[in-house]
Amino acid sequence: MPPKVKIVKEDIVRTAVELVRSDGQQSVNARSIAAALNCSTQPIFSNFSTMDDLQAAVAAAAYDCYLDFLKSEAESGKYPQYKSFGMAYIRFAEEEKELFKLLFMCDRKGKELTPTPDFEASVEIIMQANGLTRERAERMHLEMWACVHGIATMLATSFLTLDRELISDMLTDIYQGIRARHISEEKNNGCN
């Protein structure tokens, strides 16, 4: 009798991520994962104490995928670094719709939002490029992120289709407008 194939955490997480990609977050449960792995639910509960632990591992794997998009876009050199982050976020929403929904279109009410490495990097870029205080750079980034998220959400939900060149132009226009206001306010506050 051949030995049983051991199913490890990585197999389970990888399978769950693929289920999210193809059928959405609601499709991920012990039975669907077991069916996709052609096994019982026992290996799932042997590797994860709770479904919440599994969901957290799936979200972490999805976030790693998002970080790959950020890195790829930044390394392409097509856009300035800050803009590349926005373009990557939007491209992730368009190309990985269900993973985007899992990460960025979820109910976070009652959960603390901790700054992510990409948020911190964005704030630093804005501070250095524009001579703004941290507080003002955080506000500027939050305003930009709200706009980028709106575009990304429209693409993730197939509400509309936009080509990358138009998206790039839109982000430039939004950035320049927000930037001008913050620089002006920073100068005016410095004169008082």
pLDDT range class, residue 192, cuts 50, 70, 90: very low
- Residues 119-135, mean pLDDT to the nearest whole number: 93
Indicate the pTM of the whole model: 0.89
Write out pLDDT tens, residues 7-23: 999 999 999 999 999 99
pLDDT of residue 82: 95
Q: Which residue, among 181, 158, 178, has the nearest Cα to 170 in the 3D structure?
A: 178
Q: Are 122 and 85 in contact (CB under 8 A)?
A: yes
- Residues 128-141, mean pLDDT to the nearest whole number: 94
Q: Residues of the chain with pLDDT > 70: what percent?
A: 94
Q: Are 84 and 50 in contact (CB under 8 A)?
A: no
CA distances 172 to 87, 89, 144, Å, are 11, 15, 10
Q: Are 70 and 26 in contact (CB under 8 A)?
A: no
All structural domains of the chain, each given as residue ranges with its CATH number in brackets, are: 1-48 (1.10.10.60), 62-191 (1.10.357)
Q: Are 14 and 4 in contact (CB under 8 A)?
A: no
Write out pLDDT tens, residues 22-66: 999 999 999 999 999 999 999 999 999 999 999 999 999 999 999
